[in-house]
Structure formats: structure tokens, C-alpha cells
A = this chain, B = another copy of it.
Amino acid sequence: MSIGFEAHNHDACVATGVAQAQAYCAKEGLKMTPTRQRVLEILLRHHRAFGAYDILEELRNDGLGSQPPVVYRALDFLIKHGFAHKLERLNAFVACSHPGQDHAPAFLICNDCGSVAETQTSPEKSQLREAARKAGFTVEATVLEADGTCPLCTTDGSPA
């Protein structure tokens, strides 16, 4: 369960993810508005890379805004506060698997089935941080992504 390709109960993912985000927002004085919550739910439900325009289409179906800025603004909020991440390699988005933790996420992205696993790294041990330190470079954010084939697709050629 630690890495994320195993099957699991997405309803629970969605419920706990939304609850955690709501709790965090209440504590920090942030506004979890209907649009933001809906975008988070969409990301949690799919639990895979999801493009901004795919999210937008679902939002539209819910009557919650139909223009790109709506979804990009919601994503900005979710990313800023750690509820979601952008996959730079795919220009797509995923819900955070470890919300509430200050973390340097890394992603394993399956090219076959599109599933995405978020893993934690230890910034103090990373080669990237070490290289930055040596160079006198101040790191603000890191992007750590691997493309490849997930165990399910490796084994039998078909996704979960």
C-alpha cells in the first residue's frame, strides 16, 4: 500500500481527502469553495493524471463553471495549499496522496495505463538537493518524476 499502484477503495479516498482538506482550510482560514472542492473531488476520484480541460468538462456537467480560468484558479489554490500536484511531464494534475504533510513529492507515471503513484522523498538525502547545495543554489521547489511501466502493466499487459 505504501507506493500506490494497488487497488483500493476510491470512495474512501475521496471522502477522507475532502475531509482532510476541509479541516486544513478551517484551521488556516482558507476557503474551500464549491468549485475548489469539486475539482479536488474529481482529482481524488480519478486518482490518476487528469488534464485541466478534462476537469473542466466534469465541472461543466455540474454547472460549476465552464471556462478555463475557473479550473486553473481552483487548481492553483489546491496546489498552493498542497492538496494537489502538477505532473510537469504530462501537463496534468493529481490529488495529493499525503495532504497536510510538508513534502517533496516524487511521481511514478505509468505510460501504459496512466496511473500515477506519489512517493515521498527525503530532501536532505536527494542528489538534486546535494547538487544544489554544492552549487550554492537555493531550491524553492523540485520536480521528481519517472515515466515507465507500473507493475500491473509489466506483468500482464493490461492495467488494473
Contacts and interface: CB of A to CB of B under 8 A. Distances in A.
A128 interface: yes
A151 B135 contact: yes
A3 interface: yes
Contact of A135 (B4, B125, B139): B4
A144 interface: yes
Contacts of A126: 126-127
A140 interface: yes
A41 to B, nearest CB: 26
A84 B127 CA distance: 21
Interface in A72-120: 88-89, 106, 108, 110-111, 117, 119
A147 B139 contact: yes
Contacts of A111: 140
Nearest to A108: B137
A63 B18 CA distance: 55
A148 B104 CA distance: 14
A150 interface: yes
B143 A145 contact: yes
Interface of A: 2-5, 88-89, 106, 108, 110-111, 117, 119, 121-122, 125-129, 131-132, 134-151, 154
5 contacts: A3-B137, A106-B127, A106-B131, A135-B150, A137-B150
